[in-house]
Chains A and B, each alone.
Chain A
Amino acid sequence: MSKMIARRVLQIVPMLFVISIISFALAKLAPGDPVKMYVTPNMHPEDVERIRRSLGLNLPIYEQYIRWLIQVLHGNLGYSLQNSQPVLGQILQRLPATIGLMGSSLVLTLIFAVPLGLVAAKYADTWLDQVLNLLSYISISIPVFWFGIILIDFFSVQLNWLPSLGMRTIGVNSFPDLVQHAILPIATLTFQGCGAYYRYVRSNTISELKKSYVEFGYAKGLPDWKILWNHVLKNVLLPVITLLGMSLPMLISGAYITESVFSWPGLGLLSVDAIFSLDYPVIMAMTLFSGLMLILGNLFADITYQIVDPRIRK
């Protein structure tokens, strides 16, 4: 396994290089001129051209890419076109908020979705299964901004139990305050995420329950929970691990709509604002980070496969 890990780690650099070329080309080929985003009627056309030159945007695309690459290799992700601040600093400032929000909701999603999926499969076609299925359909299909607004209206406006905006009360730096602010956005993301994971676990469990090793377990007189937890779960987890590996980039890229509704200062807002403003230094940095997380997520999934299912090691 260590050889496989070493090989995959070595692949990261060329993969990131390819990702950077493709995303740079896409960012540059996207219709629109970033300088025009910052033009005001006060500015003379020669001022606009001077700004374009000072940002290096008058150069051929390959030269712009090489300049950007050299800068990145020196550990400098450049300056935002929007606010002239270092890109790395902005990302690092927002990273904890995103990891906190996305990590907590991912963990909670698994905590709720996996057992519920197992239970629903075990009691397939009963009223319990039908209720859980209905909830999962709602979770998948409900617009997240609408659900967020409903939670704010109920818990923050009508009941006044929880804060509706931001990550902290200004001037308060305590953990309980952070938790209070995080409850509604985490609840929104967890509810949204549960549906997909639940359906994966449920459908795979139903298939697994028909297999002979389960019948053998029953024949041995094992209790239901032991069959589900000790034997079925391991097989069911394989597709869940794939899904989890694919979800890891979200730890970095954030969740724009939820962050927007709850004014959560995450990277999702930063990325989407950068896209709308053609702020390509930020777009490139976020794409690289997300690409890195996707590669690492897949590596994590492959390693976990081998731990969960010894047959793959062979």
Chain B
Amino acid sequence: MKKSLVVLLALIFILTLSACGSNNTASNNSKNGGSLTVAVPGDPLVLNPNYASDRVTLTIQQALYSPLFYINGRNVTPALADKLTASKDQLKYTLILKKNLKWSDGTPLTADDIVFTLNSILDTKQNSDLRGNFVFNNEPVKVAAINKNTVVFTLPTVAPAFPLSLEQLYPIPQHVFKNEGDLQKSTKNNHPVGSGPFRFVTYKSGQYVETQRNNYYFGGKAHLDKVIFQITKDQNAANLALENGSIQLKAIQPADVKNVTSRGNTEVISYPEYRLNYAVFNENVPAFKNKTFRQALSYALNREDVIKSAYGSSKYGVPASSIFTSDVKFQDTNVQAYPYNLTKARQLLGKSKVDTKQPLSIIYLNNNPAQESIALYFQQQFKKIGLNLQLKPTDPTALNNITLDRNSKAYGILLNGYIMGPEADVYKVLYQSDSPYNYANYHNSKLDKLWNAAAVETNQTKRAAYYDQIQKQIADDAVIYPISYDDAILAINKKFGGIQAAKPQPVTIFRDLSKLYLK
């Protein structure tokens, strides 16, 4: 039996097994009733999963809609889906939904809804952000309902990334959107009908989104009556509201931990966010085209000190080396990590023959204190090897435009971070030569081919070898300076229980808010 088939069967086994264990089991101490107020830093954009890409909308979406699967780290747990199986040639995937699923308005959720959702995403007139996930070799995936609970996806080519792409598919109801010409502008998005643990009640622009327990939730009724997402722009004011109890749950920064816990009514938990915090060397700038120079800079930095300067302690960030975060099963941390060595940094700098009198620049977000601290640390360290680093704090809009310009020489170093998820293939958009997100402007045609080969390789051992080679090459070339794999930090009022059952997860805070309860 081929190894790939073994892996596939293992995936199916995991999905099915997890399904058996995913019944809603209430904690012994849990009570029903009460409400939770969650702080979110802005208004949601479009409350329709086909368009949600920002943190706020995704967080609210998690309460209102359910995905087909949950993926956290390397664990896959079925949600609306019961099972996903692939054909031998891996060109057909059959998805079986759980039985008796219902939308929050009581209408049955069927295979037709899945077909409608995917076809809406693929419809070029609908401008969904997710379309790229379901297009392979410029050909879209085809989808058809076989019966009420079964959907078949036909792929134009073998794509091992497809099952993980399905993770981002949160079905939308066909009976609500069927006759809408433009889903993005549809007024139906103002009163979403979903399949999540809570149903939409009201949204007051600039104020809050109110949700109420969804009695039709597939995972069983939520303990809380309501979850309210309070829009709080000013994070200092939101932290004070956390202290006085008017907000009960909020994602916070490491620097806020001491303040929000000072009154004793709030506890803080941290968990892997699978985010890489890193510095990019822009190879459009002549000095940074020089590999030896980039390596010299990497040796001049002490990763532990960078993390401490950013977060005040080493508690919330694990030193990074690979371009992959730990949720990627191909992650290899045994790559060249450039341990702190000023002597070596000076030697390599001399060898690089780069003009040290020419100032270098580092660009970062002007509203991000952690990045500012990192930039100052870089400046101080580079001074030790005779380099002058100029700080360029920049507003998010300008930074976005500068870094998406593939000819930009406006920065030598960019401080950045990414959460790309568990599928290794997705990361190629950051490192392939012609990618619009190749912030390093790194060109390596051999590596481009490796990325493409790995994307369609069904033999998992060979695929692992490809990704191993990619990680090592990028580390040797010092394309980026990986700083840390960051933790997310969550502050929650001590009145609430069920935190572990609700599964804290990156971006959306919790996987399943139905498990939270008032003690």
A83 and B46 contact, CB distance less than 8 A: yes
A44 and B131 contact, CB distance less than 8 A: yes
Apart from A39-B436, A167-B207, what 19 extra A-B contacts exist at CB < 8 Å? A33-B401, A36-B400, A36-B404, A37-B400, A42-B130, A54-B125, A83-B46, A145-B234, A148-B237, A152-B237, A156-B241, A157-B243, A170-B210, A259-B206, A261-B237, A263-B237, A263-B238, A270-B205, A276-B396
Q: Does A79 contact B (CB under 8 A)?
A: yes
Set of chain A residues within 8 Å of B236, measured between Cβ atoms: 145, 149, 261
A-B contact count (CB 8 A): 146
B185 and A263 contact, CB distance less than 8 A: no
Report which of B44, B231, B244 forms a contact with A263, defined as CB distance below 8 A. Answer: B231
Q: Does A93 contact B (CB under 8 A)?
A: yes
A165 and B247 contact, CB distance less than 8 A: yes
Q: Does A97 contact B (CB under 8 A)?
A: yes
Interface size on A, residues (CB 8 A): 56
* Interface 9-residue window, one of A45-53, A134-142, A189-197, A292-300: A45-53
Report which of B53, B185, B397, B426 forms a contact with A278, defined as CB distance below 8 A. Answer: B397
Please, could you name 27 A-B residue pairs with CB atoms under 8 Å apart, sorted by A? A32-B400, A41-B420, A41-B437, A42-B133, A43-B131, A43-B132, A47-B124, A47-B132, A51-B127, A54-B125, A54-B127, A82-B45, A84-B45, A156-B244, A164-B237, A164-B244, A165-B230, A166-B230, A170-B210, A170-B228, A261-B233, A262-B234, A263-B207, A263-B234, A263-B237, A265-B207, A269-B233
Set of chain B residues within 8 Å of A224, measured between Cβ atoms: none
Set of chain B residues within 8 Å of A39, measured between Cβ atoms: 404, 436
B246 and A269 contact, CB distance less than 8 A: no
Q: Does B208 contact A (CB under 8 A)?
A: yes
Report which of A42, A50, A164 forms a contact with B241, defined as CB distance below 8 A. Answer: A164
Q: A32-B397, A149-B240, A260-B233 are in contact. Are A94 and B127 (CB under 8 A)?
A: no
The 8 A CB mask of B218-233 against A (1 = contact, 0 = none) is 0000000000101111
Set of chain B residues within 8 Å of A165, measured between Cβ atoms: 230, 232, 237-238, 241, 246-247
Which residues of A approach B to under 8 Å, CB–CB? 31-33, 36-45, 47-48, 50-51, 54, 79, 82-85, 90, 93-94, 97, 145, 148-149, 152-153, 156-157, 160, 163-168, 170, 259-266, 269-270, 273, 276-278
Set of chain B residues within 8 Å of A262, measured between Cβ atoms: 234, 237
The 8 A CB mask of B306-324 against A (1 = contact, 0 = none) is 0000000000000000000
B206 and A269 contact, CB distance less than 8 A: yes
A40 and B246 contact, CB distance less than 8 A: no
A260 and B246 contact, CB distance less than 8 A: no
User: Among the interface residues B44, B244, B420, B426, which one has the most CB atoms of the partner chain A within 10 A?
Assistant: B244
Closest to A36 in B: B404
Interface size on B, residues (CB 8 A): 55
A170 and B240 contact, CB distance less than 8 A: no
A163 and B246 contact, CB distance less than 8 A: yes
Q: A32-B400, A84-B184, A265-B204 are in contact. Are A41 and B244 (CB under 8 A)?
A: no
- A145→B233 CA distance, assembly (Å): 12
Q: A83-B43, A153-B240, A157-B243 are in contact. Are A266 and B206 (CB under 8 A)?
A: yes
- A93→B210 CA distance, assembly (Å): 17
A79 and B185 contact, CB distance less than 8 A: yes
- A269→B244 CA distance, assembly (Å): 24
- A260→B44 CA distance, assembly (Å): 16
Interface residues of B in 240-261 (CB under 8 A from A): 240-241, 243-244, 246-247
A94 and B129 contact, CB distance less than 8 A: no
Set of chain A residues within 8 Å of B228, measured between Cβ atoms: 170
Q: Does B135 contact A (CB under 8 A)?
A: yes
Closest to A276 in B: B397
A164 and B400 contact, CB distance less than 8 A: no
B206 and A157 contact, CB distance less than 8 A: no
- A40→B189 CA distance, assembly (Å): 21
User: Among the interface residues A42, A47, A266, which one has the most CB atoms of the partner chain B within 10 A?
Assistant: A42
B240 and A152 contact, CB distance less than 8 A: yes
B206 and A270 contact, CB distance less than 8 A: yes
Closest to B204 in A: A265
Report which of B45, B124, B244 forms a contact with A160, defined as CB distance below 8 A. Answer: B244
Set of chain A residues within 8 Å of B241, measured between Cβ atoms: 152, 156, 164-165
A31 and B207 contact, CB distance less than 8 A: no
B206 and A97 contact, CB distance less than 8 A: yes
Set of chain A residues within 8 Å of B127, measured between Cβ atoms: 47, 50-51, 54
A164 and B132 contact, CB distance less than 8 A: no
Report which of A31, A44, A45, A94 forms a contact with B206, defined as CB distance below 8 A. Answer: A94
Set of chain B residues within 8 Å of A265, measured between Cβ atoms: 204-207, 231
Interface residues of B in 151-185 (CB under 8 A from A): 168, 184-185
Interface residues of B in 323-340 (CB under 8 A from A): none
